[in-house]
Amino acid sequence: MKKVNIVLSLILVSMFVAMSLLVTSTAMLQDATATPLPTITSVPPVQKPEGAIEVTFWYGLGGLLGNVVQETVNMYNQSQDTYYINAVFQSSYDDTINKINAGLASGDLPNLAQVFEAGTQRMIDTGSITPVQELFERDGLTAVIEDMEPAVRANYTVGGTLYSAPFNSSTAMLYINRAAFIEAGLNPDEPLVTYDDIIAAARALTVKDASGNTTRYGIGLYAETWFFEQIHAVHDTVMGTPANGRGAERMSAYTYNDPIAVQYLEFQKAMVDEGTAIWYGPGGSTPATAAYANGEVAMVFSSIASLRTLVSSAERAGMGVDVGVLYMPRNPDATGKTIVGGASLWITNVGTPEQQEGAWDFVKWALTPEVQAFWSSNTGYYPVLQSAYETDTMKAALELYPQFQVAIDQIRLADITDANTAHVSGTFVSMRQDVIKAMDDFITGKVASAQEALDAAVAVSNELLEEYNSTVSE
């Protein structure tokens, strides 16, 4: 028996020898003395006052940014005692809208919900919401709408109606390691504009060691549909018809298999094939941004909301990465601008009239310059109101993170059109999946042509969109 035990155990051990090697594999150098993440002013929660009307607020933004949501709510609850906002975290953006969908049948809905931009059409289609436009007009507060950042306001306006109150908004940027640029003889203050600029820079920034292994790639790429949408907006090209789904009619067909998309995919593949880019594939944002902070890739696409983490992570990593940001690439004839992503606050038409008033009261309060400045300076999202930039808080934040100004300029590059605003459709989440597959299939060589990969993706997206539209009663 004992011998057998040992023999069988040896089989087991050999099966797992891989894992033990894992423990001994080399670790990276790191310095833990860097500055922490942006400090968050702590606002303690307050007790619900006697007789206050309780308003339920579901949100899906977790982690450190979620703490700021909770603190904003606490500030509101402290500021008055008529209403009490009960903020309940719903695990993620996805789960928040899933829970709302499940609640449609049971009537179990919050008074106020934070929903990501991919859920806009679905929220409208619930028929259980009150467009905030109506409330702004009722209370004679259209000046607040006028004060909103145009790109942000446009993002939540469908068919001329502002449906939800913008809350957290960001855009995509090209992050560069300024130190690597200088080292490679490039001028970090001379912006890269076109695809060719980036391809050339990536070549110069790629470093190989004596044995031919790449120690630094020019750029770290990954399959992310948001950037694909950005490229369309930058070139004033719609993702679908009619009018990106933004007009009176809902979107009936995706058209993103266009030359702009083909060019963008080919641009990425060119660098991957040259060995000047590394392809992290679907879900690759975590490794790509980590590689950037560690100086292993000199450029990466990411959200402006990641700026603070990337700055502090780069400091901690101690590889001398100097964080700079540039616009998303554009052809010389491009007339558009980038879009904003993020989430907004939706007021539902369930609950008592007092509760609905409470939800509206919170939204009104949140859309004041001071609150926006607090929110923006603690999170790294845009302030929703332009007047927030005049507050001292915002001025200080911009001084601390001057890169943020580039992001502000980028969404103001062009006048608003339907094509340079994010599209709206009932099958947004699924469409993103289809584009990711097309990108990955083409860049890893599973499908020979970008056009072919995109054509296949559009067909799948449209099948689902058609089915979705057929279930919605107008």
Q: Which is nearer to another protein, 259 or 320 (CB)?
A: 320
Minimal distance in Å, beta carbon 230 to another protein? 16
Residue 285 Cβ vs another protein, minimum distance, rounded to whole Å? 7
Question: 83 or 136, CB closer to another protein?
Answer: 83
Toward another protein, which CB reaches closer, 149 or 296?
296
CB of 228 to another protein, least distance (A): 12
Helix or strand run (H / E) with residue 216? strand 214-216
Q: How far is CA 110 from CA 198, 315, 347, in A?
A: 46, 41, 9
Nearer to another protein, 285 or 338 (CB): 285
Closest separation in Å from C-beta 160 to another protein = 23
Question: Burial code of 92-121, b = ≥16 C-beta within 10 A, e = fewer?
Answer: ebeebbebbeebeeeeebbbbbbbbbbbbb
User: Which amino acid is it at 228?
Assistant: F
Between 297 and 328, whose beta carbon lies closer to another protein?
297
Type of residue numbered 456: A
Residue 345 Cβ vs another protein, minimum distance, rounded to whole Å? 16
Nearer to another protein, 226 or 327 (CB): 226
C-alpha angle 396-397-401 in degrees, rounded to nearest 5: 120
Q: Between the CA of residue 107 and those of 73, 206, 324, 418, what are the distances in Å?
A: 24, 56, 48, 34
CA 321/CA 309 separation, integer angstroms? 13
* Residue 190 or 474 with smaller CB distance to another protein: 474
Fill in the DSSP letter of residue 414: S
Q: Are 269 and 451 in contact (CB under 8 A)?
A: no
Q: Say if residue 387 is exposed, middle or buried (CB neighbours under 10 Å; 0-12, 13-18, 19+).
A: middle
Mode of pairing for the β-strands spanning 214-216 and 207-208: antiparallel
Q: How far is the CB of 341 from another protein (least distance, A)?
A: 10
* Nearest approach, Cβ of residue 91 and another protein (Å): 4
Indicate the SS3 state at residue 300.
strand
Cβ 40 to another protein shortest distance, Å? 10
Cβ distance to another protein smaller for residue 121 or 133: 121
- My answer on whether omega of the bond before 166 falls inside 30° of 0, hence cis, is no
